[in-house]
Amino acid sequence: MPCRSCEVTDLKTQERFTPLARFPLHVSRDVVQARQSVARELRDRGVSNIRVTRFSTAVSEIARNVIVHGGGGEFSVYLDPAAGYLMTVSSDKGRGIADIPQALTDGFTTAGGLGRGLGGAKRLADVFEIISSADGGTTIKMGIKL
Ligand SMILES: Nc1ncnc2c1ncn2[C@@H]1O[C@H](COP(=O)(O)OP(=O)(O)O)[C@@H](O)[C@H]1O
Ligand SMILES: [Mg+2]
């Protein structure tokens, strides 16, 4: 069940937002749920189908990485009304990304994947930020302009 009452804190500004939805990310079905939840929120706000598809594809890739590379974590969706963005935060407490520019390069993978998820997601989102360290895990914030 999504937790609708817990707040998320913006990593940079420390502003607090109440999520529209919040999910654990542990199994494939959680990725589908994250993708569908974002798509529904965007459609409800009149975002065009092509942009909904692009952004929810980015969400799928990043959510899948949380499971495959980060050992599981969580995902939340919230509105940044001041800026007019729908934002998502995916986080895990895994081993972190040692070299972010390298990880963003198409074709780079440490797990026998296609290596196009991270770079692809960055191109598909309007806002894309990575915070990652070996002891703190990985947090990726993505946004789409409404
Ligand atoms: N949440 C994460 N935790 C640790 N490493 C990650 C995470 N997400 C991505 N990476 C690293 O970045 C690489 C590139 O990711 P991606 O482009 O999605 O390719 P793929 O998932 O096919 O390996 C991964 O192989 C992995 O080394
Ligand atoms: Mg991937």
Residue 138's Cβ-side half-sphere holds a number of Cα atoms within 13 Å equal to 24
Per-residue tens of pLDDT for the chain, all 146 residues: 444 445 666 666 666 677 889 999 999 999 999 999 999 999 999 999 999 999 999 999 999 999 999 999 999 999 987 779 999 999 999 999 999 999 999 999 999 899 999 999 999 999 999 999 999 999 999 999 99
Q: Which of 66, 73, 88 is nearest to 11 (CA)?
A: 88
β-bridge pairing 73-80 and 8-9: unpaired
Q: Which CATH architecture has domain 8-145?
A: 2-Layer Sandwich (3.30)
The ligand 1 atom nearest the CA atom of 120: 17
| Ligand 1 midpoint to CA 63 (Å) | 11
Please identify, by atom number, the ligand 1 atom nearest to the C-alpha of residue 73: 1
Does 118 contact ligand 1 (Cβ within 6 A)? yes
pLDDT computed for residue 15 by the predictor: 66
Ligand 1 centroid – CA 98 distance (Å): 10
Sign (positive or negative) of CA dihedral 139, 82, 85, 115: negative
**Domain spans of the chain, in order of start:** 8-145
**139 phi, psi to nearest 5 deg:** -125, 125
Q: The pTM is what?
A: 0.91
DSSP 84-95: TEEEEEEEE-SS
d(CA 105, CA 118): 8
Helix (H) / strand (E) element for 66: namely: helix 49-68
